Chains A and B, each alone.
Chain A
Amino acid sequence: MRLSPRATLLVSGLAASALLSGCVGAKSAEDSSDPSANADAKDVTLVINANDIVGGKNSAEATWITEKVIPGFVAAQKAKGVTAKVTFNGAGVEDEQYKTKLELNLKTGSGSDVFAADGIWLGELASAGYVKPLDDVVGAAAKGWDGWSQISKAVQQNLTFKDQLYGIPNGTDGRVLYFNKKLFAQAGLPADWQPTSWADILAAGQALKKVKGVTPIQINAGVPMGEATTAQGFLPLLAGTGKPLYDDSSAKWQGETQGVKDVLGFYQQIYGSGLGDPRMQQDKAGRDQSFAEFSKGKIGILAEGDYFWRSVICPSKDDCATTSMADRDDVVGWAKIPAKQPGAGVNGQDFVSVSGGSGWMLNPKTKYPQQAWELMAFMASKEMQTELSKAQIRVSARGDVNSETLKNDPLLSFISSEILPLTTYRPSDEKYNEVSLAIQQATADVVGGASPDKAAQTFKASLEKAVGGDHVAGS
């Protein structure tokens, strides 16, 4: 048989691809990292990656990295006779895009040595083998770090997966309801507003509706808002109906349950009756728009985390750019998120919240595991964390830093003393992000006009697809 060159090439191409195909997934066997690699190197190159950018998103943290962390670390290494070259690779995009880019980098074996990641991504990253426990990558140096004693167990939990630590937490947060006191005054509402039920929120919304040109309530919904929909909207509300999203003992996620239907019903009451702006939830840049609108005094009530307070509407134009509010401290009030009705929340609570936290993780493929760890530990040192809290007040992971800095900020001390004791955390399961996507879609359906029952049904179906029918609770 004679094959034409074309056929020959076709066949050999197919054969080659069949051969290479065996490679998918087989890579995990060969990479066991060596903590002592290049431990004595005199020339060290490290790259830090975070979703921060000078003059844009999280500007204060980006400035902290470039102006405090890197020079400080380079100087410290120089004292030891090591020439360190550290670069910062910043970004200023949506968290979902940052996550995708990070995963693609890690997948291809590239990526920065030290990178910032949200704690809720850990399950996925660790299950894929993209990150490894500190014990494996760094070894003794990480175990014996003196900073651990300053970081509470609850905060360490954010970067723990299957009882192993994967990085150093950077801090924690909490969600509250922000409101605009000026608009509240116009609507005849009190400046020390504290709703005790969902009905109170709706009633305030009705009052605000009478003020012209104002969107009364913004509770994040829809897919473009991403995790903000889940963490700032759906989950605090769900916690207010009594049960958490994931039940550890039965290993089941809430599907078409009464709680889910109640939450979706609440969304319908807001977006179906003109209390919220449905189109903002559908807009690609909806969350940024909600920031801009609130900072211009066009939104009455907004559910957000403390990130919003410190990084979006801070009075400093340098740090918060176009959304900065010079009169923030006078105009913006905050309140705890109420349960559906008093006592209806998880553990019988009257008020609820959701917390999480990001941290710094190590790329297991780093050439300099020890030096990368030193850099991480330096970033999490008391000195550096105090610098960061000075640049932008926040709930640091470190107790010693918080006790000195939080008293300077009323909201952050409120979060620390009032919210963190009653808050809930998201499950660190590798399926969490898919569940979160299904949640976002369910709220999008309601905002788009579907009934809560219908949306809950679709939610249940996508949940079953994502986690399997045995792991979904509810009729």
Chain B
Amino acid sequence: MATTSQAADVRPAPAGTPGPAPSGQRAPTPRHDGDVVGLGRARAVAFVAPAMVLVAVFLVFPAAWTLYLGLLDYSLTGSGAKAPTFVGLGNYTAALSDPAFAKSLYLTLLFVGGSAVLGQNVLGFFLAWYFRTASRVARTTLNVLVLLAWILPGSVVAFLWQALLDRRNGTLNALLGTTDMAWAIDHPMAVIIIFNIWRGTAFSMLLYTAALGTVPRSHLEVARMAGAGSWQQLRDVVLPTVKRHILTNTLLITLWTFNDFSPYLLTGGGPNNESEILPVYIYKEAIIGGHLGYGSAISLLLLIANLVIAVLYIRLLRTRDSEAA
């Protein structure tokens, strides 16, 4: 947001030079008043206002509302729905001392770490790396297959996976020749982790394909001439170049996975809460159990966890920036 400070004199800016970097003769001296676009304060505010209203209505207000609900013993039914009472931080202390919450948090970290940070990231990178030199046909086929997993609607995909993993007539059991393996019940966490890797790798793959395109061929050429093997090229030339992409990608998929609800469609959080990641836990507490106040409190904790992750990554990105500068 560059429109926040004084707006003394208003001059229309020359078209197409928003950046502070003056390019040759075209731009006059950089402005001192911070009014880089040259709209003037009133007009700038008018331009930003709709976005700000949207942010306020759809982000700030719900967050504040959640914060407020988290302080009540508000529930979906019963007398707690009619006249909720103020319980202060009761919901938060209850959540933090509840072993079910701790377990759910642990499962979430496992899920995010296994499926996003490691699974999607690594698999996406290596698919991009190994297929960058493959034939056009092979690359297109791979793209179609991987993208398909990504763009199919979640409910459809869940149905397919249920058919795959079904205990009695499942495809997987037929392929492996195993009988009576209830995959989603016997290995719930493994199932949802693999499911999420399968489902989300496309994004990482696409991002890394684009990123690898930015590695200058000449650098690789030089490295090869200097006798670097495939692994050394990867480690010393490619990875340093795409580091920022890796961080950005990891940030995005971490946040998405943290809030992902689709495992519920596969395991329902079961058996006996063995795959109850936080979004599922919140759903079960708030909607099924009807404890809206408690659910709001955990939602806010989830929001804070998300913010912490985001801030950590952005810090990391900043340090990269200053190193690069």
Contact = CB atoms under 8 A, between A and B. Distances in A.
B148 interface: no
A434 B288 CA distance: 10
Interface residues of B, number: 43
Contacts of A444: 271-272
B64 A5 contact: no
A107 to B, nearest CB: 7
B77 A103 contact: yes
B129 to A, nearest CB: 38
A96 interface: yes
A24 B60 contact: no
A311 B79 CA distance: 35
Contacts of A10: 56, 60
A6 B272 contact: no
Interface stretch (A15-23, A204-212, A333-341, A373-381): A15-23
A283 B78 contact: no
Interface stretch (B81-89, B104-112, B204-212): B81-89
Interface stretch (A123-131, A179-187, A313-321): A123-131
Interface in A1-58: 4-6, 9-10, 12-14, 16-18, 20-21, 24-25, 28
A376 to B, nearest CB: 22
A123 B84 CA distance: 17
A282 interface: yes
A129 B4 contact: no
Contacts of B184: 283-284
A149 interface: no
Nearest to A430: B78
Interface string B203-241: 000000000000000000000000000000000000000
Contact of B272 (A4, A28, A123, A448): A448
B64 A124 contact: no
A128 B80 CA distance: 7
Nearest to A5: B45
A408 interface: no
Given A107-B81, A448-B272, A4 B4 contact: yes
Nearest to B264: A284
Contacts of B271: 222, 279, 282-283, 444, 448
Most buried by B among A5, A20, A224: A5
B53 interface: yes
B56 A12 contact: yes
Nearest to B291: A434
Nearest to B44: A5
B185 A283 contact: yes
Contacts of A202: none
Contacts of B78: 123-124, 127-128, 430-431
Interface core residue of B74, B78, B186 (most chain A CB under 10 Å): B78
A41 B6 CA distance: 63
A420 interface: no
Contacts of A331: none
B56 A25 contact: no
A437 interface: yes
A434 B271 CA distance: 20
A279 B185 contact: yes
Nearest to B63: A17
Centre residue among B65, B79, B184, B272 by max chain A CB count within 10 A: B272
Interface SS, A side: helix
Given A5-B49, A24-B74, A96-B288, A282 B272 contact: yes
Contacts of A107: 76, 81
B33 to A, nearest CB: 14
State which size class the interface on A falls in: 35 or more
A256 interface: no
B84 A279 contact: no
B270 A437 contact: no
B268 interface: yes
Given A5-B48, A103-B77, A282-B185, A24 B268 contact: no
Nearest to A26: B83
Contact of B56 (A13, A123, A434): A13
Interface in A83-127: 96, 100, 103-104, 107, 121, 123-125, 127
A311 B185 CA distance: 28
B96 to A, nearest CB: 15
Interface in A253-299: 279, 282-284
B61 A100 contact: no
Interface string B271-295: 1100000000000000111100000
B79 A437 contact: no
A445 interface: yes
A231 interface: no
A223 interface: yes
Nearest to B81: A128
Interface of B: 1, 3-4, 45, 48-49, 52-53, 55-57, 60-61, 64-65, 68-69, 72, 74-84, 167, 182, 184-186, 267-268, 270-272, 287-290
27 contacts: A4-B4, A13-B57, A14-B60, A16-B56, A17-B61, A17-B68, A20-B65, A21-B68, A24-B74, A25-B74, A25-B82, A25-B84, A28-B82, A96-B288, A100-B76, A128-B75, A128-B76, A128-B78, A128-B81, A222-B271, A223-B272, A279-B167, A283-B182, A283-B184, A433-B77, A433-B290, A437-B289
Instruction: Return the 7 tightest CB-CB contacts between A and B, nearest first.
Output: A282-B271, A128-B81, A124-B77, A13-B56, A17-B64, A13-B60, A284-B268
